[in-house]
Amino acid sequence: MALVIFDLDETIIGTDSDHAWGMYVVDKGLVDEVNYRETNQQFFDDYKQGIMNVDAYMAFSCAILGKYDQQFLFDHRAKYLIDHIEPHILPKANSLIQSHQEKGDTVIVITATVDFLTRPIVESLGIDTLIAPVAEIVDGRYTGGITGTVSIGAGKVARLEQWLKGQEITMKDSRFYSDSINDLPLLERVDQAVAVDPDEKLSRVARERSWPIISLR
């Protein structure tokens, strides 16, 4: 039995859940269309290049949660998941997850996308443990802020190590599946890094280090 970690966006779902949510809230008129669409795309492009400002991104990404009450947000999230996420869940990824679970491996997801969006996705895949940026809630309402360390880049390693302190499991024979160069710190931390439909930068690193490169598309 081993610890098996999956990235979420563009790894086990064939889209970026945060970017897709940004497009959804624009289409539904929940935010200012012109400014939001442009900024959402810029953060997405910066992330792909590995140059995104994490603090600015999280402030932008979570601001909408502070504008509306929880039930209103949950209702829209349900529609978004049906229309924009379910069609992009990759069958091969789902099969891979199940194969690890059947072996008795501990399967978790670590993602840079806020838990408000990602927890129901991960639960639908039969995975109990999610490490994601945590949207702050005060008095039953989202504040638009984040609590704790953001699980992006080196933050994924920090959050994983924090989680491991409460577990009877080690990093021995650990494995991490990811598509993104942003995940290099965690890919370097595990015993087996696996590049999944990798971006150009990660593909180059994977070839240089003889990491497996697979496709789940």
pLDDT of amino acid 164: 96
Q: Which of 9, 18, 179, 183 is catalytic?
A: 9
Report the domain count for the chain: 1
State the CATH number of the domain containing residue 158. Answer: 3.40.50.1000
Q: Which of 7, 16, 179, 197 is catalytic?
A: 7
By residue count, the chain amounts to 217
Confidence of residue 159 (pLDDT cuts 50, 70, 90): very high
Res. 97 pLDDT band, cuts 50 70 90: very high
Residue 115, domain extent: 3-214
Q: Are the C-beta atoms of residues 17 and 118 closer than 8 Å to each other?
A: yes
pLDDT-derived band of residue 54, with 50, 70 and 90 as boundaries?
A: confident
Please provide residue 23's backbone torsions phi and psi, each rounded to the nearest 5 degrees.
-70, -35
pTM: 0.95
199 carries an active-site annotation? no
Q: Is 9 a catalytic residue?
A: yes
